Amino acid sequence: MTHRGQLILLPQNRIWRTYTGGATLDRIAGKAQPEDTHYAEDWIGSVTRSVIPGREHINEGVSPVVVGGETHDFRALIDSDPEYFLGAAHLAKHGRSPMLLVKFLDSAIRLHFQCHPSREFAQQFLNSPSGKTEAYHILGVRDGITEPYFYMGFQNPPSPAELKHMIETQDVAAMERCFEKIIVQPGDTFLIPGGFPHALGEGVFMIEIQEPTDFAVRYEFDRGGYVLPEAARFMNRGLDFALSLINFNRYPREVIERDYRCRPQARRALSELSWQETLIGPAQTPCFRVCKTQLRDTVTKTEDSFYLGIVTDGACTLDVNGRLHHLKRYDKFFCPAGLGPVLFEPEPHAAILECYPPN
């Protein structure tokens, strides 16, 4: 087949969201007048549909991809040769789902207070193999933001009855008092398990790695002048359902820093000067894996599964079966399981974030 032995390139795949942002993504795309709109995310190598009530008639989420200069629907491309793209072991365990969703997310405002189901909750109550455990890898912070942050887990937990009252009355100030800011900087990585209430702060540009669903309950209804329709608040279910998936335990900031900040772990030498380090492995979550490769010299690399790669710093040239691909910062690609060795030549250095499916 003509797609075999080729790198899959991933152009922008902008998705409408209920908050505003995206000016950074406009700049990456080379737009003359970048602006913040509701197209605040770029879904990378996605086969997941976006679920926004009122926009069901719009086919959003599944990525266009480029192979040998031709554009394809990523879902259809995988279905055309699933064992080559995903690998026999993955196919036997998970079927034709990559079990992974990766995004660029660029916030102009703080996102809604929200919560996603855990995998166990989704399997029990949502008839889904996946929930929405996710991870944040921070890339940048907008000018003028002196204290970039996100909220995660309750530091001052309310009771379910107290939170229910806050939601019913939309007492956002009381909701905010349930949290303390977790300060972030470029290069930080955090894991946000399903069930943890959270909200990303304004002015943060990041990569989000997550289970491949668009499940969310949002218990703050009005952000940036947009009021969520009722169907978009609690996944078209009631408030008691939304409360049932929330973890009400107390997580002090030092516990978040200790247990959910993902620091580089085992290092795999690729050459005398280049290496790959694990940021998120099975010890943190069974839902996905994340590594970062630091290139300082020419390296030939073969992986044991497919992965999504994002150049987060520098630039490099990839030689794939004699085809050369020059990739600059924030370019993205997909390496199929059956692709074989790829030669990486940094110019003069590069960092690549690599997102893998579950083991």
The residue from 233, 259, 285 where one domain ends is 259
Residue at 148 is within a domain: yes
Asked if pLDDT for residue 292 goes beyond 80, the answer is yes
pLDDT tens, position by position, 34-58: 999 999 999 999 999 887 777 777 8
Do 217 and 235 form a contact (C-beta atoms < 8 A)? yes
166, 197: one domain: yes
Residue tagged 């630091």 (tokens): 294
pLDDT of residue 178: 98
DSSP 194-249: TT--EEEPTTEEEEEEE-S----EES--EETTEEPPGGGTTTTS-HHHHHHT---S
208, 290: one domain: no
> b/e string for 255-281 if b means 16 or more Cβ within 10 A?
ebeeebebeeeeeeebeeebbbebbbb
pLDDT of residue 113: 98
The residue from 195, 225, 259 where one domain ends is 259
CA dist 134 and 118 (Å) reads 10
Within 10 angstroms of residue 338's Cβ, the number of other Cβ atoms is 15
pLDDT of residue 316: 98
DSSP 143-209: TT-SS-EEEESBSSPPPHHHHHHHHHHT-HHHHHTT---EE--TT-EEEE-TT--EEEPTTEEEEEE
Mean pLDDT (whole number) for 248-263 = 97
CA dist 249 and 255 (Å) reads 12
Residue at 127 is within a domain: yes
CA dihedral 158, 134, 111, 12 (to 10 degrees): -170
Residue at 3 is within a domain: no
Residue at 112 is within a domain: yes
pLDDT of residue 1: 55
- Separation of CA 164 from chain center: 29
Range of the domain at 276: 267-356
Mean pLDDT (whole number) for 278-287 = 96
**Region at 236 (left for phi over 0; alpha for psi -120 to 50; beta for the rest):** left
318, 237: one domain: no
The helix or strand, by DSSP H or E, that contains position 23, with its residue range, turns out to be: helix 23-28
43, 136: one domain: yes
pLDDT of residue 58: 80
Percent of the chain with pLDDT over 70: 100
pLDDT of residue 231: 87
Residue at 204 is within a domain: yes
Do 39 and 106 form a contact (C-beta atoms < 8 A)? no
- Separation of CA 76 from chain center: 22
212, 272: one domain: no
For the chain, the domain total comes to 2
Do 216 and 246 form a contact (C-beta atoms < 8 A)? no
Do 45 and 74 form a contact (C-beta atoms < 8 A)? yes
CA dist 110 and 73 (Å) reads 32
pLDDT tens, position by position, 218-227: 999 999 889 9
326, 224: one domain: no
Mark out the alpha helices in 64-133 (DSSP H runs): 74-80, 82-86, 88-94, 119-125
Preceding omega of 357 cis (within 30 degrees of 0): no
pLDDT tens, position by position, 148-180: 999 999 999 999 999 999 999 999 999 999 999
CATH of the domain at 145: 2.60.120.10
Mean pLDDT (whole number) for 252-281 = 95
Mean pLDDT (whole number) for 19-26 = 97
Residue at 1 is within a domain: no
Residue at 2 is within a domain: no
36, 94: one domain: yes
Under DSSP, is residue 3 helix (H, G, I), strand (E, B) or coil? coil
Helices (H) and strands (E) in the chain, counts: 9, 24
Say how many residues make up the chain.
Answer: 359
109, 61: one domain: yes
46, 171: one domain: yes
243, 293: one domain: no
Whole-Å CA distances, 15 to 55, 78, 160, 241, 349: 11, 21, 33, 27, 31
Mean pLDDT (whole number) for 63-88 = 96
Nearest one of 292, 267, 304 to 350, comparing CA atoms: 292
The residue from 230, 259, 288 where one domain ends is 259
| Mean of pLDDT over the chain | 95
Task: Compute and round to an integer the Cα radius of gyration of the chain.
Answer: 20
64, 207: one domain: yes
Residue tagged 């900031």 (tokens): 253
118, 234: one domain: yes
pLDDT tens, position by position, 93-129: 999 999 999 999 999 999 999 999 999 999 999 999 9
pLDDT of residue 359: 86
> b/e string for 8-24 if b means 16 or more Cβ within 10 A?
bbbebbbbebbbbbbbb
pLDDT of residue 266: 80
